[in-house]
Amino acid sequence: MTTLSAPPAPPETDAAYEARLLTEFHSTRDPRLRAELIERHLPLARRLAGRYGYSDEPFDDLVQVAAIGLIKAIDRFEPGHGAKLSSFAVPTILGELKRHFRDKTWALHVPRGLQDLSLKLTRETERLAKTLGRSPTATELSHATGLSLEQVLDGQNAGNAYGASSLDEPAEADDGAAPLIELLGHTDDQYALVEDRLEMVSAWQALPPTQREILRLRFIEDLTQREIGDRIGYSQMHVSRLLRQALTTLANT
């Protein structure tokens, strides 16, 4: 009597294999399973990192950041909810990349909203430059992004804080050029006047109130002696004498 054997089981699909890996990892947290899941989805992380290729960040660094986001997604993913790991991982990886640009690459602290605005304008500037054959104007960026002109200008100004130059760098490309720090700043002549101003304040406070008011009306409000006399009820001659006395007092201080 011939016994019929059961037909061989169909080969496991890639999706089924991944689902089994995720279920086993969720239960065991086996690092070997995590490593295999990372390897399977690393191309996704690389593609997402490539979205930021316009930046000055080394691509390998961006891939590492994206891989960190992928690992977080794998650790947080719960099988059986109907979602695919790749769909779950995309926002996590992009969030990690955005956080990297927000916290690690800016030379100065800039609010998150302005950072996102600057990055958006950078991408749109590159896109328009390819179409126009030149750098777009702020007005063209405003029309292309739907942002107001003021928002565009704010975003462009925020972009200036992305990088910083060392004060020890040569000011020019030539050998032997002086460092930038030696070319910044200048002698402020106003410091020499500080002591004189302090003495002037003391002398001003020592003047009689009427003389201080006459000086204010003459040199701040720019009134004539006749107008000052009409204002305070003195004759022009009396105003002239008080003004001369006040100036002599200040000059001899």
Query: Across the strands, what pairs with 179?
Result: 170
Residue 147, domain member (yes or no): yes
pLDDT at 8: 55
Return d(Cα 52, Cα 48) in angstroms, integer. Answer: 8
Residues 19 and 90 in one domain: yes
- What is the arithmetic mean of pLDDT over 17-30? 90
Q: Residue 171: which pLDDT band, with cuts at 50, 70 and 90? A: low
- pLDDT exceeds 70 at position 43: yes
Q: Are residues 129 and 99 in the same domain?
A: no
Residue range 48-103, pLDDT digits in tens: 999 888 777 889 999 999 999 999 999 999 987 778 899 999 999 999 998 887 76
Tell me the residue range of the domain where 195 lies: 190-251
- Tell me the C-alpha distance between 99 and 105, whole Å: 10
- How many Cβ atoms from other residues are within 10 Å of residue 30's Cβ? 12
- State pTM to two decimals: 0.48
Q: Mean pLDDT across the stretch 187-204? A: 75
Domain end point (choices 61, 86, 103): 103
Domain assignment of residue 174, yes or no: no
Residue 175 belongs to some domain of the structure:
no
- Are residues 83 and 125 both part of a single domain? no
Instruction: Specify the pLDDT at position 173.
Output: 60
Residue-averaged pLDDT of the chain: 82
Residues 18, 87 within the same domain: yes
Residues 117-131 have a mean pLDDT of 84
| CATH number for the domain that contains residue 204 | 1.10.10.10
> What's the whole-number mean pLDDT along residues 165-183?
64
DSSP summary character for residue 164: -
| Alpha-carbon gap, residue 139 to 67, rounded angstroms | 38
Q: Examine residue 46 and state whether it is found in any structural domain, yes or no.
A: yes
When mean pLDDT is compared across 11-15, 82-86, 239-243, the lowest value belongs to: 11-15
Phi, psi (5° rounding) for residue 176?
85, 5
Alpha-carbon gap, residue 21 to 76, rounded angstroms: 14
With H, G, I as helix, E, B as strand and everything else as coil, classify residue 57.
coil
Q: Is residue 4 part of a domain?
A: no
| Region of poorest pLDDT, from 12-21, 133-142, 159-168, 175-184 | 159-168
Residues 149 and 70 both lie in one domain: no
The answer to whether residue 45 scores a pLDDT higher than 90 is yes
Domain count, the chain: 3
CATH code of the domain containing 30: 1.10.1740.10
Is residue 71 located within the same domain as residue 126?
no
The reported pLDDT for the residue numbered 24 is 92
| pLDDT, tens digit, 9 for 90 and up, residues 200-224 | 788 888 889 999 899 889 888 888 9
Question: Residue 170: its pLDDT value, please?
Answer: 67
Q: CA 115, 117, 120 angle in degrees (round to 5)?
A: 110
In the predicted model, is pLDDT for residue 106 greater than 60? Answer: no
Co-location of 209 and 236 in the same domain: yes
* Dist. CA 146–CA 155, nearest whole Å: 13
Judgement on whether residues 18 and 98 belong to the same structural domain of the protein: yes
